[in-house]
Each structure stands twice: as C-alpha cells, then as structure tokens.
Chains A and B, each alone.
Chain A
C-alpha cells in the first residue's frame, strides 16, 4: 500500500467541519488528516449563534457528533493557529512553533468582523459579533450596562441589536447607509423594515458616520458623528461587515483578490494545485459568499476532488463549484425578511412590480424578466410566505402564470394564491440548499418509508442546517405520501378522523361524557390504546369524574387503571403526594414503616418526593389503605396530570428569600392536583433568582422577586431541555393564579396528544407574544371562560386512591388472578444494598418459584 495522503485543514469552522464530514463519508482509505483550530472548541453553529442569548449553550451549538474526532487518521488540535505556509517544503507552521508536512492543504479560515478605523474603537466594552467568546464578553458587559449601540444595520447588526434588547438595554442601531440591510433590500423595503424594527423599541440612526469615540458624560462612551451629533452609550458592538481571512495566502503569494479573498477555481483549488480554499475566505469568480450554503457546496466539491487523488474503484469525474444562489429568508427580531436573486433589478430590461401596505407594514417586490416569463428576484418584508414558491420558480426557470403580480398580492377574496404546486417542480430542483438535497432524493426517501419530517431529516439531511427548507420539504413529503396512497393527516388514530384539539371541542360542545357516545357519534370501530386514553384524559379535563368509574376504567392505560406506575417486571410503584416537597417527621416515619412492612424498595425521586417500588396488583389497595389513613393522597405519578410542584425553602428560612415559596408551592400543588392534561405537567416555585427549585425548567415556574412573582412557562427538562420563558412579571398572588389557570386550560384545550407545553409552545403560531395576548391581555376574550373551566375541575377534586379503597367493586379488580389469591410467581426479588430489586433472568432461572430471596446479589 502507498503512504497515506497527508492533509492539513486550517480552520474548524462551519465549512471546515463540513469538509471533514464529507471526507469521512467518502472514506477513501489512506487519508491522514490534521485539523488546526484556532478557537478553544471544535466547530459550532455560527448561524444559530444568537440563540446563545436565549439559553443555548456552547454544547447545544456544537456541530461535532460525539466521537467524531476519535476515528483513526483524524487529529484535531484546539487552540492551534497556522502562522505560515512554506509551499516549497510543503509544510505549515503553527503558533506553537511546530511544522506539519502536507500533501494537500485546505484553507477554511472564514472571515473576521470588519471594524471601521474610528479613533477610540479599542476602548473597553467595544465588541464584535463572531464567536462564542465574543458573546460571553457581551453578556458580561450587558449586565453592567443600560445603553447599547450596534454599529452596522445589516443582517448581523440587527441580530446583535436583538441580543442587546433582550438583555434589557436601551438599544440603538447606527448605519452609515441611508437604509437598513442595504445589500439585500431596496429603499421601499428598508423603510418598512425600519418602521418594524423601531416599533420593537430599537432606535435606528441612518446616514451616520462615526468619527470618534471618547469618554461619555452620563455613560461610559460618547460616539461623535460627522454631522456633529453625539450618542452616549455603555457598550458598542461593531457589525460593519466581514473581511476574508486571507493573511496566510497573502504571505505565501497564493493569489488574493483586490478586495481580499483567496482566488479559487471550479475545484476550489488556489493557484497552487495542492492548496484549496473553501468557505468565506475563498473568492470565486470575483465573489465572496458570506453564507453557509455556498460554503458547504465548496466543501463537497473540495472533498470530492481530494478523494479523487486517492486511487479508488468508482472514480467518477469530481463535481465542480459553479456559483451559488444568495437568496435568503430570515426572521429578524420577529420580522420576516427575504431577498431573492436580483433584488435591485440590475438585469437589463427587468420589470418590477411592487406592493406596499403601510398599515400592515408589508412590502413586496417582484423582479421579472423583460418578457415577463421568469422570476429574476424579489424582496419580501413583513410577509415572506411567497419566498419558497418564488425561489423555486427562479432557480428552476419555471414559466410564470400570465399575471405574475398575483404571486405577491394578497388575495382579496380569501382564495388561495397561485401557489406553486410542489408537483410542478422538476425532480432536480434543489430543495435544501444547505445540504444540497434535491426533490428526487426527498421523494425517494418518502417512498422508502420516511413519513415524518424527523425521519426525513435523518434519511436525507434536508432541513438539518438553517431549517429554512422545512416547510417546502414537508409539503413535498405530504404530496409524495398522497401519491403513494398513504393518508396524510393529524387524525388521532384510525378510529377518529380528528386531531386531539378537535376531539376536545366535540366533547365539550356536545357535552359528551362516555366513550361509547363519542365513538358512535364521531368515530368508528372499537377504539384502541391511542384514542381511549386520550378520550379519558379529555373527559377528565372537562368533567373530572372518577377515572375508575365502570365506563371509564376500560379506557385507562395500565397506570391509570391501577393508579400506579407499571415497572419492567409488571409490579408497580407508589408515589404519594408530598406537596411542595414538604413533609412532617410523622409522615416520613409512616412511609418508612409501610415500606418496611410490605418490603418495598424506597427512593427519593427527582421530583422531591418518595417512591415505593415492587408492589404487586393485589398489594396496592392494602398499602394505600395505610397511606390514606395516615393522611396521604394520590401523587398522580401514573397520570398525564399535574405531577410535582417543587419548592425551595424560601423566605421562611433562607437569608436570601424574597417571598414564601413553600406556601405558594403548596397552594399551587393543592389547586391543580388531579388536573388531567394532554401530557404530564410539572411546576416549581423559587424564593429568589438563585432559583434553587429550578422553576425555569418546568411547564410553569414561579420565581419570587422584590416586587412579586414572575411566571415562566413552557420549560422542559427531559429529552429535549428547554428554558421556560417569562410570561408575566411582578404579579400578586391572585393575578399569578389567574394567569396560571388560563395558561393551563388553554394548553389543555389546544395541545396535541402527548405534547408537553414546551413542544406545544414551539408549534404555537405567533409564539410567546400570542400566548401573552391570550393569557395576559385576554385578546381572544376567553379568559373568564378558561378560569371557569378550571374552577370546575378544582372544585370537583377527590383523591382517586381514597375513592378506590372505599369502593368494593373497584377493589375486586385489584387481584393478580381472578380465580386465586396466589401472587405472581414470576415476580422475584433479590437483595441489593439492603433493599429489594427485581431479579435478572439468570437469577430467576436459579431461584425459580421462590418469591423473595434474602441473599446478597
């Protein structure tokens, strides 16, 4: 075998990482890759960088799958910068003085933020917006500041402004050009955009040229402009464009453009055949692409070209880079902004059609070819729904309908616009530009069984980067599924042609109280393990009857049917309610005694209560009788219902406590206990912002402040953690409860089956603002209704276990066998750390038939 091909990659940014993935996927044998990464961490998602401010961590943003760098032939050097290239010796020198020989060298050095040469720009608390370290420093300064200025009103500048605004600063944007986002949008669009941004409380200054930054009087800095006006601020973020990092190339005479950028050919090669440049540092056909999708395309082209240098069987002609489309669609501070192709109508003969609605603040511009047949470009502000259609029409040169202006005009009669049927797209149409996925690839994956957007993402990678193509991909998926004769709907299951939300309305409006009536009137067949528990949950949310009433019992999952959580060996666990995590010594002793008597395994749960494990069906009522007698109630750990309301010790004991968090947690838990919902609901109350109760990870969380309670909603721990968002602040007790009533009932009414509040919120059109409108501002006028519905549930609470042990008919069902009092001989325990645990299959085989073995395992 020949010696391995030594490859050095300089830069582990988004594009550099894509190159490594592409190489790994092709797996040409005999590559020996060293990656120099100047930053202290491997590649992360710069596109999503701003989400760092909404709680995403560096790990969340990582683009590196676990174990990626552990493979053979791949070495990553963090904090390692390349400082020189010796082209004749074919080696790279690093900042640590090492030299690395290469056969092929790839420069993926990205760009640096341009800071205009204004005197005073080196002052403290002046920042750029490019790396995680930049954002960390901004966060720190934000905490000490009241006013923030962003220099530059482009895409990134507006993102930075949003970040400052979210930190609670008085925010200004200073732009040199006469309008915002000058590159992407025209004057008309810029005007609408400005109105929208200002409506959000950001002050915009256009045509301002900063001449110096000096000490301020009231604030840290004073910025002086060419027109002699002055703006005082505590911190400044420069976002005045980017410049390619071509310093290595310059020093080794690799050929750079007049305004920077490493010149490359269609294979991404520089003028040295063994050196490539890709991503934002590369200059192709006189153009630098400041977007990630063209960079990814370069990475693919480059990887293919390198792989072709290694002898292999299927040596296809490697693909070439032939330019990329720069169309973009984004949501900037909640405003839809899209720019396509020739947005400024620079093409000779181009015809322009503009639609503006000053009241709704919508601006749309369509640029078509001279003969009116093709889309050349466009600008959409405030409503970018037409983006997907227009982009595909442009990229695929699809012939336009006779009156193309209808593509951007709102339809007065409510009729659908001539949207682009996905059927009309050619097979080769590129649907996901980030990952170069075509319509044909997506349709093929659907035919192979990818029938959800999640599966489709795994199968094709479409939609996994910027996410912009997800709506179109979903449309394609549905169309293809229809073509295959598959049904596409949000129906609960084969028995009900409705979503959970629709079923909820049918039940409430029709006052339906039994499953028989429901399925006779609105469904078909006999029901199943999906629709029965869903219906039972809705009945409970609406009418709150005893879940074990004869006609309801048959609808309940095993957990609800036996009012306990089933375990892997068929035994059950018992979780009594310990509201707010507060418990008396007497009650603790009872739990200990009951557990000891029935030989149950005991554990403190993650929800501040105590779980008793290993009870068989016939033991449950005996155990619960003792617990109910001692004053315990069901903890509903088995139900899609309110679980725990955790609390911290609060102002009663804690020296920092602002309010009595324990009392509030008790009040909340006792109010909503037993409340059935589409999924489980958890809550917590903290006595101050130190947040010892972790309220911001809960479906609804409450934190005490100097001025009252802050209410956070839609947080989640679990599989996909999500920080809760502030719904309302500084509330008194009564308003707090009112908002929680409304919030919970609104969720119960509208969520899908098994949808936690976090997922529900992520799918809620209008997002947090809409939720505030409904709950706080009562825009829908349903506040009183929601409160009344909650009052009915709260007023009809009864402990399910108390009712169960008082009903002989129900108790008869708690038997392991209908014709014998014997226990299940398949349930076998062994001792471990002085408690029981289920025996393993091997242990069972050894001890067959003996119920409890008192032997250390």
Chain B
C-alpha cells in the first residue's frame, strides 16, 4: 500500500469505512457515498504494489456522476483516470484535469486498515 495512506489509527474520527479492499478489482474504481457526497475510489496495482486514491465522482464536463467508471493508467509521471463520457483525464493525486488545468476536482484522503478502505474529507 501507499505508505502515506497508512498513517494514523483507524478509529480516528472523520474516517468512513466504505468497503473491503477486495471489493475493488485491481486497476478499477468504485463509487462510495461519504457524508452525502459521491466519491470515486480507485485501486491501482503495479508490480504487486498497491495504491488507493479518492476523488469526486462527478465529471465537471458532462455533469454526470461517472468518474469511478473510467479507465485508469498513467500519462508520463501522472496517474490518471479518463472520464468515460468525453475522455478528459484527471490526476488521481491532485484532482487536476490534464487537458484543462483550470478545472480541478476535490480529492479525499483514503487509507486501508484491516483489509478495509477508509475515506475522510
């Protein structure tokens, strides 16, 4: 797992348990409801190394809640998801749109404890 995501006890307030890690197939995303917000959670696996990311599920270009259903991968150094509607890419770490840096999505903190995925604002 991504080291930075592992800090802090799982009992911390503000963290929402959304699902088991295995509920997210490798290199895909799911959508979770967190405090009334739709959050797209992605699980990236590369050479046995795992990383989790969480950004808004809403696609600002189509106004549809779909980003969790996009394809993930990398563009140069950046890890990205492509919107399934009009194919813009969003940086998973920062939420920034690659094609239109003026547009940025909210990112969420995410970590794993005991095989569960936890999300916080």
Contacts and interface: CB of A to CB of B under 8 A. Distances in A.
Interface stretch (B7-15, B58-66, B100-108): B58-66
A529 B87 contact: yes
Interface stretch (A333-341, A476-484, A810-818): A810-818
Interface in B34-77: 38, 41, 44, 46, 58, 62-66, 69-76
A816 B25 CA distance: 15
A526 B66 contact: no
Interface in B11-39: 18-19, 23-28, 30-33, 38
Interface stretch (A295-303, A554-562, A773-781): A554-562
B6 interface: no
Contacts of A824: 38, 65
A570 interface: yes
A545 to B, nearest CB: 16
A532 B71 contact: yes
B73 to A, nearest CB: 4
B16 to A, nearest CB: 8
A784 interface: no
**In the complex, which of the residues B25, B30, B76, B82 has the most CB atoms of chain A within 10 Å of its own CB atom?**
B25
A558 B28 contact: no
B73 A822 contact: no
B70 A818 contact: no
A528 interface: yes
B85 interface: yes
A516 to B, nearest CB: 9
Interface in A715-748: none
Given A526-B79, A553-B25, A566 B65 contact: no
A819 B44 CA distance: 20
A841 B63 CA distance: 9
B31 A818 contact: yes
B121 to A, nearest CB: 16
Given A562-B69, A818-B41, A554 B32 contact: no
Interface in A517-570: 525-529, 531-533, 550, 553-559, 561-562, 566, 568-570
Contact of B84 (A495, A527, A557, A818): A557
A202 B62 CA distance: 59
Interface residues of A, number: 37
A558 B32 CA distance: 18
A605 interface: no
A370 interface: no
A490 interface: no
Contacts of B89: 529
A819 B69 contact: no
B73 A532 contact: yes
Given A553-B25, A554-B26, A826-B65, A529 B32 contact: no
Contact of B23 (A550, A818, A822): A818
Given A529-B73, A562-B69, A819 B64 contact: no
Contacts, number: 100
Given A526-B44, A526-B46, A818-B18, A568 B64 contact: yes
B82 A529 contact: yes
B110 interface: no
A820 interface: yes
Contacts of A818: 18-19, 23-24, 30-32, 41
Interface in A782-826: 812-813, 815-820, 822, 824, 826
A551 to B, nearest CB: 8
A558 B28 CA distance: 11
**In the complex, which of the residues B46, B64, B71 has the most CB atoms of chain A within 10 Å of its own CB atom?**
B71
Contacts of B70: 529, 558
Interface string A313-331: 0000000000000000000
B113 to A, nearest CB: 16
Nearest to B43: A554
A494 interface: yes
Given A553-B25, A566-B84, A826-B65, A527 B30 contact: no
Contacts of A826: 38, 58, 63-65
A568 B73 contact: no
B25 A527 contact: no
A528 B84 contact: no
A570 B27 contact: no
Nearest to A816: B31
Given A818-B30, A818-B41, A819-B18, A529 B71 contact: yes
B84 A558 contact: yes
Nearest to A527: B73
Contacts of B73: 495, 525-529, 531-532
A570 B71 contact: no
Contacts of A819: 18-19, 32-33
Given A553-B25, A819-B19, A525 B74 contact: yes
B112 interface: no
A557 B64 contact: no
Contacts of B27: 526, 554
Given A553-B28, A558-B66, A818-B24, A528 B33 contact: no
A826 B33 CA distance: 13
A109 B75 CA distance: 57
A812 B85 contact: no
Interface in A801-857: 812-813, 815-820, 822, 824, 826, 841
Contacts of B18: 818-819
Contacts of A813: 25, 30
Interface in A343-379: none
A193 to B, nearest CB: 50
Contacts of A820: 33
Interface string A593-623: 0000000000000000000000001000000
A527 B24 CA distance: 19
B97 interface: no
B31 A566 contact: no
A527 B44 CA distance: 12
B31 A528 contact: no
Contacts of A817: 30-33, 38
Contacts of A566: 66, 69, 84-85
Interface in A100-128: none
Nearest to A570: B64
B62 A568 contact: yes
B66 A533 contact: no
A362 B31 CA distance: 66
A816 B32 CA distance: 8
Contacts of A529: 70-71, 73, 82, 87, 89
Nearest to B23: A818
A570 B87 contact: no
B51 to A, nearest CB: 11
Nearest to A838: B64
19 contacts: A494-B76, A525-B73, A528-B74, A529-B70, A531-B73, A550-B25, A557-B71, A559-B84, A566-B66, A566-B69, A568-B62, A570-B64, A617-B69, A817-B33, A818-B23, A819-B19, A826-B63, A826-B65, A841-B63
Interface of B: 18-19, 23-28, 30-33, 38, 41, 44, 46, 58, 62-66, 69-76, 79-80, 82, 84-85, 87, 89
Given A526-B72, A528-B82, A818-B30, 20 more contacts: A494-B75, A494-B76, A495-B73, A526-B27, A526-B74, A529-B89, A531-B73, A532-B71, A553-B25, A554-B25, A555-B71, A556-B71, A557-B71, A561-B28, A813-B30, A815-B30, A817-B32, A818-B32, A826-B63, A841-B63
The 4 closest A-B pairs by CB, nearest first: A558-B84, A570-B64, A528-B73, A529-B82
